Chain A
Amino acid sequence: MEFVSPEGLRIDGRRPQELRALQCKFGVLSCCDGSALFQAGNTKVFAAVYGPRVADIRGQALHDRALIKCEYAHAAFSTGAARRRRGRSRKSTELAALVRGALEQTILVELLPRAQVEVCIQVLFADGGVTAACINAAMLAVADAGIPVRDMVAACGAGHLEAMPLLDLNHTEAATGGLEVCVALHPALDRVVLLQADAKASVDTLEAVTTLALQGCKAAAGAMREALLQHVRSLAARRGAI
């Protein structure tokens, strides 16, 4: 199968270094403190934040910082063809831990001692780049809940196909089993929060792909920031502040 045509277009019509169309919506669910919908192409992820509030289990509360909890689930219809196994798999436990790790470094946990922040993530459709979409959705929901953060965290994936680094792989491209890297970045502080590469690759390849993913993170962060600002402006207008 050909992943990049001679004209330099990928199977979904993108250029090799092009992100899919990003869409961010806020306040999509009613019974939580903050919620967001993040969409990258067909990949669609909901996130809801509960808190900060008193820890459910008192013994788990930390005296010097907030406790971050993360729940992850994907819908039975989230993948195209075959029905996936239900329940919590090892992969979904790992994904929840990854998102929690990224958020622990992003939220100003030391400002919220003894409190708990719970982040729930629901994948509606998985078309590649799910880890990155989960982190981005969680970040947007945390912002919607008004929880103080050090910096925005934005994540993006990249891969290596046909000797060429490709940004933001979709499911068909990722299913080839080549190198795929997921990176999360604090764009203003310029810190890498998460890096995950799951295939054998030379150092040069990894570096090229990671650099591309980092550029993707910055672009995604820009789009997310713009969406957040727009949302806040519309909120302020509704309350008559401007």
Chain B
Amino acid sequence: MLHSKAERAYLQQGFDAGLRSDGRGCHDWRPVEVALAQLPQASGSARCCVGGTEVLVSVKAEVRTPTEEAPGCGGIQLAVEVSPCAGLRLQGRGDEELGAELTRALERCLLSQANGAGGCLDLSALCIVAGKSCWVLCVDALVLSADGCVLDALSIAAKAALADTRIPLVEVTQADEDGDAELELDDDPTHAARLDTARVPVLVTVSQVGAALAVDLNAEEGACAGAALEVAVDARGRLCGATMRAHSAPLHPSSLQEMLGLAQRLGPRLLRELDRQIGQSAAAASVAMQE
């Protein structure tokens, strides 16, 4: 989006005075709306809207063979796509590049190592038969509409979709002594294992605009932001990672501490709101299922 110097100066002065063009303070989010179970074909899915930004995440559980490095663990595969509808008007392969960038950022948030060890999800719970078969969660995200704060919205939707995921129960019947086990899946959707997502963090992008620090910049505000730091924070306010955004302006080391502190204060607040909405949505779904 193109902005004149005067427009940018206007926005920047607003931030200095603690006021934004839509009436928010510097540390306020736009309304965050989360809805679960959006896609009937997925094991779990969620849609998240933050103002004009809209993302959709689907989780599909597939039975595969575990890797040799981690025979007792399942896996997670992440992919983010940017829809041409998103309004970014990227030329050529720009959407694929942005998708890859967002995928990496989300991977860093959800998986700490390549095989997921030490991450926020207990991957050993996804194991079916050690060294033979395990569940792999394919997390596919789609950015439908981009109006700033896309990565934060993606991490919120990913957490909600993982909380919505139902993994069918598996009965292992030992066929012979060589250990070629046969798997029998339970089709009943009410009998399904759920993931423990309590420790899954969300990403909070803290941006510098002039001298002020702000969260949830919309597309216009993002155009006049300086440095931006993507911070992963869990429900207890613990840091789970921090990355400077690619193409971000340089940052003074002294402001780093301040930005991390802000993310640690705001992250748990965002997560409480998210947990409330997940709880509400799940309760509505279980009522619908009983009827």
Contact = CB atoms under 8 A, between A and B. Distances in A.
B83 A31 contact: no
Contact of B85 (A35, A80, A83): A35
Interface in B135-165: 138, 140, 142, 144-147
Interface string A38-56: 0000100011101000001
B89 A50 contact: yes
Nearest to A80: B41
Nearest to B141: A76
Contacts of A72: 84
B146 A76 contact: no
Nearest to B45: A77
Interface stretch (B51-59, B106-114, B199-207): B51-59
Interface string B114-149: 000000000000000000000000101010111100
Contacts of A120: 83-85
Nearest to B80: A76
Contacts of A77: 39, 41-42, 45, 58, 60, 140, 142
Of B39, B85, B86, B138, chain A has the most CB atoms within 10 Å of the CB of: B85
Interface residues of A, number: 26
A125 interface: yes
A163 to B, nearest CB: 32
Given A42-B40, A77-B41, A77-B140, A30 B147 contact: yes
Nearest to A49: B85
Given A77-B60, A77-B140, A122 B39 contact: no
B92 to A, nearest CB: 11
B142 A75 contact: yes
B33 interface: no
Contacts of B42: 77
B168 to A, nearest CB: 15
Interface string B254-284: 0000000000000000000000000000000
A124 B85 contact: no
A124 B56 contact: yes
Contact of A29 (B54, B58, B91, B142): B54
B181 interface: no
A68 B79 CA distance: 31
- Tell which of B39, B41, B219 has the most Cβ of chain A within 10 Å: B41
A72 B52 CA distance: 22
B280 to A, nearest CB: 23
A122 B87 contact: no
Contacts of A30: 52, 54, 145, 147
Interface of B: 39-42, 45, 52, 54, 56, 58, 60, 79, 81, 83-87, 89, 91, 96, 138, 140, 142, 144-147, 219
Interface of A: 29-32, 35, 42, 46-48, 50, 56, 71-73, 75-77, 80, 83, 86-87, 120-122, 124-125
